[in-house]
Amino acid sequence: MARVKQSKSPAPKKKPAVPVAAKVKPVLKPRSQRLRDKGRAAISLIRKRRATLADDFLDVGEALRTLKGEGMFEALGRADFDDVCARDLDLAESTADAMIALSERIERELEKDLGRDRSSALLALVDAIPEDDLPMNLLDATIQLPTGGKLVVRGATASEVREAARSFRLVRGARQGKRSRGFTTTPEEKRRFTAVEKRWRARRDLAAVVHTRLVASRREHGAEVDVRLPLEVWERIELPGLPKR
């Protein structure tokens, strides 16, 4: 009896082996963790720039905008942006806001005219000037220097602006060694002052000529504001209505 030769069916093709690493999907960090990492990186950059008075200060403005972003202060475990400035940067919120505003204006319209080096020096100067002496419109201001001289910001070179910033820093460093806490304004008073000050800064016709300073007071009404302005502006101010009793 003849044997029937059975044909073998072709073996199934083997699929190429997938590397184990490719099978594992990357684990994304929670949003709060990503924000926290981003915030800590921004804080580290700002501290480094301020400690060394680095030549490039423009990225400090960008880092401050990052720290003021939505959800950032919560991710860092802080009460608000003011708390971040005070605890992580040793920086007044009004100074941080001034640096943010100037950096945004530089990016929007001024970097081409000022140049990167001078723009960076101006931000360093904002950071160095004491909070109470910071003019509303730095670009058009004449700054009284700790050395006794004056700096006309509009016509100053980058090196002159940076040297002015160094002079303010030297004075600040000397004072910090013997500074006591003393009597000062509250965070709420600073917040209210900054909110009103921003409205004055928005008036370009007044920003260069009106200077304000928040002063602590032991009186019943709390903090007071020192204001210097031209007589012609004073004459146009309307008095508020008397409070109802």
Average pLDDT over residues 120-138: 82
Where is average pLDDT lowest: 12-16, 76-80, 159-163?
12-16
Average pLDDT over residues 35-57: 83
Range of the domain at 195: 184-236
Q: Which stretch of DSSP H or E encloses residue 144?
A: strand 142-144
153 shares a domain with 66: yes
Residue 211 lies in a domain: yes
Output phi, psi for 21, to 5 deg. Answer: -60, -30
pLDDT at 180: 40
Average pLDDT over residues 129-158: 85
pLDDT at 24: 46
Do residues 221 and 185 lie in contact, with contact meaning Cβ atoms separated by under 8 Å? no
pLDDT tier for residue 117 given thresholds of 50, 70 and 90: confident
As to burial, measured by CB atoms within 10 angstroms (0-12 exposed, 13-18 middle, 19+ buried), residue 105 is: middle
- Tokens standing for 165? 């910033």
**Identity of the amino acid at 232:** E
pLDDT at 243: 58
Do residues 223 and 183 lie in contact, with contact meaning Cβ atoms separated by under 8 Å? no
pLDDT at 131: 74
**pLDDT tops 70 at residue 65:** yes
132 shares a domain with 41: yes
pLDDT at 182: 45
pTM of the model: 0.52
Of these ranges, 72-76, 171-175, 235-239, the one predicted with the greatest mean pLDDT is 72-76
pLDDT at 5: 54
Residue 138 lies in a domain: yes
Residue 134 lies in a domain: yes
51 shares a domain with 143: yes
**pLDDT tops 90 at residue 151:** yes
193 shares a domain with 107: no
Return the higher-pLDDT residue of 136 and 180: 136
